[in-house]
Amino acid sequence: MTGTSVVVLGATGFLGRHLCDAFETAGARVTAVSRGLCGGSAPPSAQRREHLDPLREPPDRLTRLLDDVAADTVVNAAGQLWGATPEQQEAANADLVGLLLDAVAAAPRRPRLVQLGTVHEYGPGTDRRPFAEDHPPQPDTTYGRTKLRAARTVLDAVEASGTDGVVLRISNVCGAGAPAGSLLGFLAARLTAHRGRPGPMELDLPPATAWRDFVDARDVADAVVACARAPRARVAGRVVNVGSGRAVLVEDVVNRLVELSGVQVRRTAAAAPVPSAGRGGSANSAAAWQALDVTLAEQLLQWRPRRGLDDSLRSLLAGV
């Protein structure tokens, strides 16, 4: 990808930082875009940084930016979940995509749009088979519904106007920088803060009985880079799953994170709500078991996950 121009929206977020690093490593010219991009919070790998909120600024500003950097690929890693109201999620997850598509359509060289979706667009499922891309979406959370609306907006634009767009549906992401609103990000921060203190750490956390598909953030970034490289005829208008391909019991993941941290923990069951298991998750989701079938990603992108769960958990602890 040497010399390719890539614009990353949501560049200071959890996945956005990993995406900037991966594209920079691949030789791309990276423009990092964020609503609050400033100072030390900016991704260190980005060659250009822009503070831009498409929801609040003139609609042509993003178009002018895409033209100015001669963008070949735009990756939408922006959105809201943690602490956001349903109205905020509608705007940040769905309305934003419509504005982004307008900007892409108006840009002189119409870049590829890679929309990052979520496993929660599929909903809770009905059995213990991984979701394939042809599974009928039935989201049961606001986050899943708003991300599904965004995905359909992209796919409709491909069909109606020939937009070069693709949707990557991503499972629960783990790794350095996981947000504190997620279960693993919350727990890693607590464990790291307790290191060196006397006595065990008190942890009020009920058993996590759900099964989830965890994928390393670096593997997700590799999949996005592969998608940007893929021929248009292969990926335009497609939904492609990105995950580990298997579900693990979240309680086992919690216990393994504690073990890897080296912190002694005294566990008690709490009545308080438990943070989500990962990106795109929701504590209120009815899904007891979720995993993604990633066969299509291997076929279309020549991609498969390379990092194991222990690698992801160690990265998470090291990055807190």
pLDDT, one tens digit per residue, over 205-221 is 888 899 999 999 999 99
The pLDDT of residue 38: 45
- CATH 3.40.50.720 for domain 5-174+214-245+291-306, yes or no, is yes
The pLDDT of residue 36: 72
Q: Where are the domains of the chain?
A: 5-174+214-245+291-306
The pLDDT of residue 278: 43
Q: Which residues of the chain have pLDDT under 50?
A: 37-42, 272, 277-284
Q: Would you call 122 a catalytic residue per the annotation?
A: no
Joined together, the tokens standing for residue 301 give: 């992108």
Q: Of residues 143, 211, 214, 303, which has the active-site annotation?
A: 143
The pLDDT of residue 275: 55
108-136 b/e with 16+ CB inside 10 Å = b? eebbbbbbbbbbbbbbbbeeeebbebebe
